[in-house]
Structure 1
Amino acid sequence: MMNLNKYLVLVILVLVPKFFMAQERQLEKADLKFKRYAFIDARKIYLDVAESGYSSSDLYKKLGDSYYFNGELEDASKWYERLLSEYEQEVGTEYLFRYAQSLKSVQRYDESDRIMEKFNALTNADTRASHYMSSKDYLNFIELQSGKFDLIKLGINSKDSDYAPSFTNQGTLVFASSRFGNPMVKTLHEWNEMRFLDLFSSEIGEENELTKPTKLKGRINTKFHESSTTFSKDGKTMYFTRNNYTKRKLKTNAAGTTLLKLYKATLEGDKWTNIEELPFNGDEYSVAHPALSADGTVLYFASDMPGSKGLSDLYKVAVHEDGSYGTPESLGDLINTEGRETFPYISDSGRLYFASDGHVGLGGLDVFIAVPEGNGFSVPYNVGRPVNGPEDDFSFVLDEGTKIGYFASNRDGGQGNDDIYSFKQIEELITSCKQYVKGTILDAADGAVIPDAEVVLLDENNQEIQRTVSNTFGEYRFDIECETLYIVRALKDTYKPSEKRLTTDKVLEFTHDLPITIEKGGLSEKEAVEGDDLAKLLALSPIYFDLDKSKIRRDAEVELQKIIAALKEYPQLKIDVRSHTDSRGTDAYNLYLSDRRAKSTIAYIIKKGGIDPSRITGRGYGETALINSCTNGTPCSKEEHQLNRRSEFILVK
């Protein structure tokens, strides 16, 4: 028995190194394929290694990536989950993001949000994190945005990959497809083991029915990829994407990978010819997915060229009348993220539609819209369901005249790897940041609702924007703008004016709940006589100043707004502003300081409230009217001294 145990130990000692050496050789082979983006071939090897019991963070990362970058997010989530579970300390932030995206594909949104919270904590400078933090109720917004398109069944899809639809502007739809490959020649793209893509066209019928697809004629289609096209208004100029294959020469980057370039072709008769490569292409980066502006003067595209923010960014370049091009310009940080922005489309009205996994969505690539704003575009807005879903949704195009459009998706229920879907737009999309404020006016004493109260919406300068009356349930509501400061004021006879400040944020379609309580009282209920302090009649908080300062404090502004409201409510009132200091400092300096405070208070009421200067007088009294025993030399706390730094509002009429 002893000898048998020793034999077993020896066998294990011999076999274990051989086992792991074999796995290492397999991984090296797979890594070479992975670096060429040959994810499918690499995946087979990685899976074999994993099923043999070998594990590492690198193995799980590459397995997850092999699914993630082919749009198979549900499978990607399983390997990323194992990565986080077994190698949490070795997980980079980019894998947190990919895991969060993958979780959305199986609609595990709460878990995805928790991962994004962690992603944000580790990457405060990442725009994907800031987009998430500013849109944490994104599911609510997407629900509001959803239902604005009706999907239409198409009969042009194949069992292979069909995507990137575009209008020729001459009644034809052109798209990319890997169908109709020669069965005798198995030329497969290493990345996803699909046949290489060619360009096809279908005529658009009267009822938007599409005819049987046929290949584009001319020297367009090659044995490599052609995809994503855009056309001039007359349909005679086409920009398209192709592998780096020019004049029958295939080129690769330094790592041996064939990337993508943009090409231009012209139509002669029914054939595409005069194919030329665009001058801003490069062998070390991809340029793809063109979109031409309605007037043909600007070409938009996706690229990872030097200076790009993420895996692919959106760019634009001027197209000059002589056929030359300007210098490519990034669409900027509102559009581009550290993720993928791709497949741009410019509608006739200049709206930008594009696909992204860097902006907050439902999973994978989602379609977004950004409207023209200044010299660029607004923040992007998710277009909602049914265009977007948990999988990849992309290459969106829309005829704004007919409201008919097309997009591609790898969602469940399709015929092939990617399918083209048609839609009819039935409602306008939300394309601006809007918020709302609502609330109930309540009695401060017993919480009873107060109907027929005037509710006033003011800007930060106390200028009235809008006014309404609370309904029978005491409710009010205003439409407001994002990232703006407001004051909401409630007024009612026999009640004191009351108001609240509200600063909005960037959350789309958010409703702020702002109840306002008001107290019984007010000038109309009390007999006010000359010499009364208006601040006491209104039960205001004291108007305090900081030590040795005359500037109006933020907390004092709210109280002064109430004084302004009272002066507007009762135009016959006149007041005398009396400002006081504490006993610290010389008597002469305190007199000077208090006079500055009185003038500062008067100036605020006149300027911010638009009150006639003839209705307000005032001066400083220094330390001559202390309200406690904190005289010169008497030890007092800061709080006791502060009680003397005040302003009073004495009725003079």
Structure 2
Amino acid sequence: MVKKIFLFVIVMVFMVPRNTWGQERFLTKAERKYQEYSFSPAIDIYKKVLDKGYVSPELLKNLGNSYYFNADYKEAAETYKRLLKDYKNEIGPEYYFRYSQSLKSLGDYEAAKEVMAEFSQLTSDDVRAAFFKRENGYLEEIKKNSGRYEIRPFDYNTPYTEFAPSYYKEGLIFSSDRDTGNLARYRHTWNSKDFLDLYRVNTDSLDDNHVVKLGDGVNTRLHESTSVVSNDGKHLYFTRNNFKDGKYITDENGIIRLKLLRATLMDGVWTNIQELPFNSDSYSTAHPAFSPDGKTLYFVSDMPGSFGQSDIYRVAVYADGKFGSPENLGNTINTGARETFPFVSSENVLYFSSDGHPGLGGLDVFGTKIESGRYNGVVMNVGEPLNSNMDDFTFIFSEDTRKGYFASNRDGGLGADDIYAFVETAPLKLVCDQSVTGTVRDKITNEVLVGATVKVIDENNEEVLTTITDSEGNYKLSVDCYRGNFVRALMQGYVPSEEYLPVSDGKPNIIDFYLERDQVTAGFGDDLAKLLQLSTIYFDFDKYNIRKDSEIEVQKVIAAMEKYPSLKIKVNSHTDSRGRDAYNLWLSQKRAEATVDYMVSKGISENRLMGEGFGETKLINNCENGVRCSAKEHEKNRRSEFIILE
């Protein structure tokens, strides 16, 4: 046969594609003309606070996200870097993702991989971690697709070698060394002196089912193997050793390489045999297969740029018989080992053999779906009994009849390699649909957002699908759970929000989004603390000085007042009901005054500020004197308000 024996290895090639992301600009850029008291609680406010030396994980998250969604990846990367450096234990894994994505956009692939490695330690459900998980538990994964084939030996096997079946008219073309007198002593090498030829048999005919050679025009004293006939039946593509003018042609290492050739059918004879233009004396090209429309030729090569020992490529075939430029199928398909013997079914499923993807031993057959010329990212082992602990390869399949053929050197065969016929009893599961539902709301008012857009974006930052929320703010999506996706909610006038959906087992998921307004229009009596999404401003027990951890929240108000010089506010301070009423009133007044004094000390004019303490007179729940409440319920009443006066 036409393959080389290698030790069974499982290899993961992690390549970060070079992408220039075209993310939409959802946040308004600088130089915007604001309406009076129209606040942007994003870059301008947070950056000004940060420039003053006041920092918190929440501030860096918001600032980094603002840059990220504005596609300002340089600033986003710098912000996320600081976030991860200073607050590693206070952030979730999504910020590692966004940092890595930002680094990739800047072309810093090595740093991006290091960040992704840290992410994989935080969660076992990201793409790389899931790959490791599948690798370690790959036998369980293979079981899910096992038991779908009924297999029997090919009627035309001999004690010699038979493999590489391909469809031709009412039967097959296949490769064998049956007429060379060789009992398949060679093992998977094209350097031996034994010869393979191409044969034809009408498997569907009872009258004419004899095995015959294709003819001297195709077969030579070298190896001929792995063939495919064009859709119009006029051209035969096949693999042959590098042979010219009656002589072997070797590369600089003395190896006889493989080449692809094309023969033309004229008067019933295959003739006018020519090399394909992308052949070379220094690397191999072999194992042709066509797309269903016949416009793309798939083949195998170890040409420069390959990921492993052999990779699968494709090339456009034009109507005039010329070819485009060969294209590597990429590291979703190809690994550092061998990917070989491609076949594309009528439903655009690419089947191939590999010893780089997790398998049962030797070469296994795998399948992946081709959609709009792209691969869906899922490479599935087709399972037992088609795959075994030996080499299983040269798979072909008719989706109309659910029947096909493949070759194997498994125990129990007649020769070194034998062809087997099979019937598929259940389809290969290449799609995993996960239901994702949720509601999109305004973060401040909690009102549902009707007509909000919810998108699914893959890890290459390309949009997969989109929907909008209904009259109740709800959405429903179905995503591919075999790969990681970002679910992103968008609405005009709001800052986008997204959640990452890792590779999963397909269980339904609920993701609710609470969007912050891009511009928050305020007027007399509105609470600036609510509009700027301030965290609670805490004071130490029985004290009223501004604590260090609360300074950053007050600084956000100061930044807003500096941006809008006509803005005047009143600081209202409240306590919970615990303690004496008169004392709480006094303490709240002191805290309001302390807040005002702090803001004045930072440059805000005293005539733009007022302060008043209300003690426990304006509780926002029922936690009055004598009512048992939890600490969390009491906490809601200990609040500071920054009410707009003018």
TM-score (norm 2): 0.54
2:574 to 625, 639, 646: 625
Would the alpha carbon gap of residues 296 and 228 (structure 1) be closer, same or farther in structure 2, given more than 3 Å must change? same
Partner Cα distance (1:486, 1:224) in 2:
56
- Give 1:158's aligned residue: 158
| Contact residue 11 and residue 336 of structure 2 kept, 8 A | no
Partner Cα distance (2:483, 2:172) in 1:
40
Name the Cα RMSD after superposition: 5.0
Partner Cα distance (1:311, 1:354) in 2:
15
- Higher helix fraction: Structure 1 or Structure 2? 1
| Contact residue 363 and residue 392 of structure 2 kept, 8 A | yes
Would the alpha carbon gap of residues 180 and 483 (structure 1) be closer, same or farther in structure 2, given more than 3 Å must change? same
2:201 matched to 1:266?
Answer: no
Summarize deviations over 1:434-484 as a string: whole Å, max 9, x none: 4589xxxxxxxxxxxxxxxxxxxx9999964569xxxxxxxxxx9977535
The offset of 1:270, in angstroms, is: 3.5
Would the alpha carbon gap of residues 646 and 248 (structure 1) be closer, same or farther in structure 2, given more than 3 Å must change? farther
2:396 maps to a residue whose letter is V
| Contact residue 224 and residue 240 of structure 2 kept, 8 A | yes
Higher relative contact order (CA 8 A, sep 6+): 2
The offset of 1:249, in angstroms, is: 2.9
2:276 maps to a residue whose letter is L
Would the alpha carbon gap of residues 189 and 317 (structure 1) be closer, same or farther in structure 2, given more than 3 Å must change? closer
2:427 matched to 1:428?
Answer: yes
2:414 matched to 1:415?
Answer: yes
The offset of 1:141, in angstroms, is: 2.4
Summarize deviations over 1:479-500 as a string: whole Å, max 9, x none: 977535789xxxxxxxxxxxxx
1:238 to 236, 239, 243: 236
Summarize deviations over 1:549-600 as a string: whole Å, max 9, x none: 94589xxxxxxxxxxxxxxxxxxxxxxxxx7665528999977957999xxx
- Give 2:546's aligned residue: 584
The offset of 1:409, in angstroms, is: 1.0
Partner Cα distance (1:646, 1:258) in 2:
83
Partner Cα distance (2:364, 2:163) in 1:
15
Partner Cα distance (1:366, 1:154) in 2:
19
Describe the SS at the equivalent of 2:574.
coil
- Give 1:402's aligned residue: 401
Describe the SS at the equivalent of 2:144.
helix
2:372 matched to 1:363?
Answer: no
Would the alpha carbon gap of residues 158 and 132 (structure 1) be closer, same or farther in structure 2, given more than 3 Å must change? farther
Partner Cα distance (2:259, 2:146) in 1:
35
Comparing 297-306 with 365-374, which one deviates more in the overlay? 365-374
Describe the SS at the equivalent of 2:253.
coil
1:204 maps to a residue whose letter is T
| Contact residue 11 and residue 357 of structure 2 kept, 8 A | no
| Contact residue 135 and residue 506 of structure 1 kept, 8 A | no
The offset of 1:374, in angstroms, is: 3.3
Partner Cα distance (1:214, 1:550) in 2:
82
Would the alpha carbon gap of residues 376 and 347 (structure 1) be closer, same or farther in structure 2, given more than 3 Å must change? same
Describe the SS at the equivalent of 1:230.
strand
The offset of 1:189, in angstroms, is: 8.7
Partner Cα distance (1:189, 1:141) in 2:
29
- Give 2:524's aligned residue: none
- Give 1:354's aligned residue: 352
The offset of 1:395, in angstroms, is: 0.8
Partner Cα distance (1:131, 1:151) in 2:
30
- Give 1:483's aligned residue: 484
Describe the SS at the equivalent of 2:141.
helix
- Give 2:255's aligned residue: 257
The offset of 1:648, in angstroms, is: 10
1:70 maps to a residue whose letter is I
Would the alpha carbon gap of residues 292 and 622 (structure 1) be closer, same or farther in structure 2, given more than 3 Å must change? same
Would the alpha carbon gap of residues 424 and 589 (structure 1) be closer, same or farther in structure 2, given more than 3 Å must change? closer
Describe the SS at the equivalent of 2:573.
coil
The offset of 1:182, in angstroms, is: 4.5
- Give 2:329's aligned residue: 331
2:281 matched to 1:307?
Answer: no
TM-score (norm 1): 0.53
2:148 maps to a residue whose letter is K
- Give 2:227's aligned residue: 229
The offset of 1:503, in angstroms, is: 5.8
The offset of 1:415, in angstroms, is: 1.3
1:385 maps to a residue whose letter is E
Partner Cα distance (1:414, 1:621) in 2:
89
Partner Cα distance (2:144, 2:199) in 1:
36
Summarize deviations over 1:411-450 as a string: whole Å, max 9, x none: 111111111111111211111234589xxxxxxxxxxxxx
1:505 to 491, 495, 502: 502
- Give 1:532's aligned residue: none
The offset of 1:401, in angstroms, is: 1.4
The offset of 1:286, in angstroms, is: 0.4
How many residues are treated as equivalent by the alignment?
411
1:506 maps to a residue whose letter is V
The offset of 1:645, in angstroms, is: 11
- Give 1:494's aligned residue: none
Partner Cα distance (1:645, 1:283) in 2:
81
Structure 2: unaligned runs, 5 residues or longer: 13-115, 121-126, 437-453, 457-467, 489-497, 511-528, 540-544, 561-567, 577-583, 598-630, 642-646
Would the alpha carbon gap of residues 386 and 588 (structure 1) be closer, same or farther in structure 2, given more than 3 Å must change? closer
Partner Cα distance (1:381, 1:552) in 2:
49
Describe the SS at the equivalent of 1:624.
strand
Partner Cα distance (1:419, 1:97) in 2:
28
1:483 maps to a residue whose letter is G
Would the alpha carbon gap of residues 588 and 410 (structure 1) be closer, same or farther in structure 2, given more than 3 Å must change? closer
